[in-house]
Amino acid sequence: MKAIIRATSIAKEYPLGASQNSYVTLRESLSAAVRSPLKRFKANQPAETIMALRDVSFEVSSGEVVGIIGRNGAGKSTLLKVLSRITEPSSGRIELYGRIASLLEVGTGFHPELSGRENIYLNGAILGMTRAEIRQKFEEIIAFSEIEKFIDTPVKRYSSGMYLRLAFAVAAHLDPEILLVDEVLAVGDASFQRKCLDKMEDVTQAGRTVIFVSHNMPAITRICPRTILLEAGTVAFDGSSPEAVRRYLGSGMGTNAFREWKNIDDAPGNEIVRLCSIRVRTEDGQVCESIDIRSPVGLDMEFEVLEAGRVLVPNYYFINQEGVCAFGASEHDPEWRRRPRPTGRYLSTAWIPGNFLSEGTLIVSAAISTMDPVIIHFFERDIVAFQIIDSLDGNSARGDYAGPMPGIVRPMLTWTSQFTPSNSSPKLGGSTI
């Protein structure tokens, strides 16, 4: 099949710290020039840079639907930005054999003061539709968004749900040959997400070429036959989606249950706190990927506080294979509750009781936050994973039933039973025989 995207060894280099302090003032430039006047004449000055992408090559055939996964900072967003021409690659070449539209966010360019109708035109034009195209699809867009009544109301009076529906409705009616989609599905309520996913599937069935970046592993395996796994800016795997997801969850230390950052500067976090390691373990301290449903599961989070004086709350989110968040949990050790932490290394352990979770894989995301004011120091998705195994010997909540059991939790309930025998005149029968 004919290639519609051909990317040849693309690389993207950012000056280090470009994300913070991104702009300079004239004074800084001048003082830098005064301090080292010869700097600009020195050839090949080893400037501090970070390679967000290096030697990334791939081809996408017309009509293919390709997923892109990877950890935070692996280069997914950079790749999308390069493909959609928002930023230039530092080297390499990309050939596009079709009209491209990127959907890096829903509602780009929406103006709160304008009405829904006006925003449809504005947003459509920004996403690359012509006026005639928008006019032609206008009724369809309004119908899809389900906000006919409010179409002439300024969008600043919309609820966040209405706003999202309208924004997605415009995006869903884009008609390019290549569509780049970034995690737009991560927003909105469950029913809206389902609607978006359905629309995505429609789009893929229409023979459109789609590149889909997501953290939602079930969505990736459902929509994309092929997935590219990015690791530290390079293509670590390019092939079938289930295999890519397996490798993604398994990347790190060979086990899904343990991850560690040896160099604190690369670790998730900021100047206040950095993550050192996360491990899933059993009660006797063994790192373990598969845990019996009846045993408690321990999650160790090791972190280093670099700047004293803040209340820090480690927390976890547990997501199952279907992408459903089973629950979230914050540390509530009374010793550190509402108490600023001195610098040093901490080990915080959460215990999930035995006989609580249902069997299956759980993917853990970890974060450390401050509540007042809310600061998220880091939020690492899909950091470790483990499996709960329900042995079939009858001692768990499933009893002797061996079939598939639905549900996110499988607690051992306290069952009591009362017995009343039939024919409640017992003495009589006994005596007659």
Partner 1 sequence: MRTIKSKGQGQALSEATNSANALNDQTHRLPSLVLQASDEPLTVIEPSGTWNAINLRELWTYRELLYFLIWRDVKIRYKQTVLGAAWAIIQPLFTMLVFTLIFSRVAGISSEGIPYPLFAYAGLLPWIFFANAVTTSGNSLVVSANLITKVYFPRLLIPAAAVGAGVVDFAVAFVMLIPLMIYYHATLTLSVFLLPIPIVLTVLLTLAVGIWLSALNVKYRDVRFAVPFMMQFWMFLSPVAYPSSALPQRWQLLYSLNPAVGIIEGFRASLLGQPLKWTNMGISTFVTLGLLLYASLLFRKMEKKFADII
- Report the interface residues with partner 1, using CB under 8 A: 1-2, 4, 6, 14, 18, 22-27, 29, 62-65, 81-100, 102, 104-105, 108-109, 111, 113-114, 118, 121-122, 125-128, 130-131, 198, 201-202, 204-207, 221-223, 225
Secondary structure string (H, E, C) spanning 208-250: CEEEEECCCHHHHHHHCCEEEEEECCEEEEEEEHHHHHHHHHH
Residue 82 CA neighbour count, 13 Å, CB half: 29
Instruction: Please tell me whether residue 30 adopts helix, strand or coil conformation.
Output: helix
Q: Which is nearer to partner 1, 224 or 299 (CB)?
A: 224
Amino acid at 234: T
Q: Which is nearer to partner 1, 27 or 35 (CB)?
A: 27
Closest to 281 measured CA to CA, from 347, 379, 237? 347
**Dist CA 218 CA 241 (whole Å):** 10
DSSP strands (E only) in 84-221: 91-96, 100-103, 178-182, 209-213
CB 231 within 8 A of CB 249: no
Q: Which is nearer to partner 1, 114 or 249 (CB)?
A: 114
CB 246 within 8 A of CB 135: no
Q: Which is nearer to partner 1, 18 or 329 (CB)?
A: 18
Cβ 404 to partner 1 shortest distance, Å: 13
Cβ 336 to partner 1 shortest distance, Å: 38
Residues 6 or more apart in contact with residue 374 via CB below 8 angstroms: none
Task: Judge if the upstream peptide bond of residue 353 is cis by omega within 30 degrees of 0.
Answer: no
Cβ 122 to partner 1 shortest distance, Å: 5
Cβ 6 to partner 1 shortest distance, Å: 8
Q: Which is nearer to partner 1, 23 or 415 (CB)?
A: 23
- The token pair at 22 is 């991104």
* Paired sense of beta strands 297-305 and 344-352, if any: antiparallel
Cβ 245 to partner 1 shortest distance, Å: 12
Cβ 292 to partner 1 shortest distance, Å: 28
Q: Which is nearer to partner 1, 65 or 368 (CB)?
A: 65
Cβ 243 to partner 1 shortest distance, Å: 14
Query: Any idea how long the chain is?
Result: 433
Q: Which is nearer to partner 1, 241 or 251 (CB)?
A: 241
Q: Which is nearer to partner 1, 29 or 290 (CB)?
A: 29
Cβ 71 to partner 1 shortest distance, Å: 21
- The token pair at 327 is 């629950």
Q: Which is nearer to partner 1, 38 or 132 (CB)?
A: 132
**Dist CA 157 CA 14 (whole Å):** 39
Cβ 27 to partner 1 shortest distance, Å: 7
CA distances from residue 410 to 203, 275, 357, 362, 426 in whole angstroms, order as listed: 38, 31, 5, 14, 39
Q: Is the dihedral of CA 325, 327, 332, 337 positive or negative?
A: positive
